[in-house]
Amino acid sequence: MAEASAYELRAVAHLIQPWGNPARDLDQLRDGIASAPAEVLFNHTVQYRQRHPGADELPPDDFSAWVGTVTQDAETAERMSFAVQGQNRAAQSVRAALLGVLDALPAKRRREHDAPEESALVFLSATSVDFTTGTIVRDGRELVEALLEADTAVWFYHLVEEPWFREGRASLLDWLEDTGGQRLAKWLEEAAASGLPLEKARSLLHRRGRQNRIARQVTEAAASPEDERREAGRQAVARLVKRVTRPGGPS
């Protein structure tokens, strides 16, 4: 058992299966979104982020991508994408936002933008199976170290999936604030809400941690005796000279 002040990181996998009838036009897409359970909306508007963890830029959600590329309605696809990005915090809010876009279209236009039978959108439901990683952290510094090494499934579960199904805040962020990590909690929450690809968020966290380490080192050095600071300076110069003069080093 983990101690009360500690937090155990978890990861998640998803079991994917078809749901309902495929959509061949925007009218059928609208009906599917209106009646789809939360697990279907999750798969197409949230879970896709886990499928593209290393993307330079996050691609559109599944619904917007299908409308834009298969039915060739770029304007509606863009509006749907904005709707998902702006309301993607819970099933009912994203459902209402998407229906708002589709209901604003004339019924005739929804039927005209159709797709060949072989290109119909198959609705898929994602059943989540979360599991322990065995990694326990006790403060913000340990959490940063763990996240830098963790699989993206850990990032996705704690920062994207859990708050979506809870329709609130990630429990990891609540714990982090309780342990004094308010600034880190705010940073992680903003990174998740920004829609950044997971690996890009990891890179930014690594940069943030490096900057914090440098700041601590400068502060500690300023408080050191003068002879220790001179010795640290000599060692830094020696390392620089060694880098410049070694074969293949900078000219």
Structure confidence by residue, pLDDT tens digits, 106-141: 988 888 888 888 999 999 999 999 999 999 999 999
What domain range is 33 assigned to?
A: 9-125
Tokens of 248: 């293949």
Check residue 244 and give its pLDDT. 57
Q: CA 38, 16, 190 angle in degrees (round to 5)?
A: 55
Q: What is the value of pTM for the model shown?
A: 0.77
- CA distance to 8, 134, 146, per residue, from 178 (Å): 15, 21, 18
150: number of Cβ within 10 Å:
18
Q: Evaluate whether residue 102 is within a structural domain.
A: yes
- Summarize pLDDT for 231-242 with one digit per residue, the tens: 666 665 666 566
Q: Evaluate whether residue 49 is within a structural domain.
A: yes
Strand partners, 121: 23
- 193 by Cβ neighbours in 10 Å (0-12 / 13-18 / 19+) ranks as middle
3-state helix, strand, coil in the chain (%, to 5): 60, 10, 25
- Summarize pLDDT for 21-74 with one digit per residue, the tens: 999 999 999 999 999 999 999 999 999 889 888 778 888 999 999 999 999 999
Q: Evaluate whether residue 58 is within a structural domain.
A: yes
Q: Evaluate whether residue 45 is within a structural domain.
A: yes
Q: Evaluate whether residue 230 is within a structural domain.
A: no
Q: Evaluate whether residue 162 is within a structural domain.
A: no
User: Given a cut of 90, is residue 18 above it in pLDDT?
Assistant: yes
Q: Evaluate whether residue 118 is within a structural domain.
A: yes
Eight-class DSSP state of 23: B
Check residue 249 and give its pLDDT. 52
Nearest-10 crossing angle of helices 140-149, 182-193: 30
Check residue 2 and give its pLDDT. 45
Check residue 226 and give its pLDDT. 67
What is the total count of domains within the chain? 1
User: Given a cut of 80, is residue 7 above it in pLDDT?
Assistant: yes
CB 118 within 8 A of CB 24: no
- Summarize pLDDT for 170-204 with one digit per residue, the tens: 999 999 999 999 999 999 998 888 878 888 888 89
CB 129 within 8 A of CB 12: yes
CB 52 within 8 A of CB 156: no
* Radius of gyration in angstroms for the set of CA atoms belonging to the chain, rounded to a whole number: 24
* Averaged pLDDT of the chain: 85
Q: Evaluate whether residue 198 is within a structural domain.
A: no
27: number of Cβ within 10 Å:
19
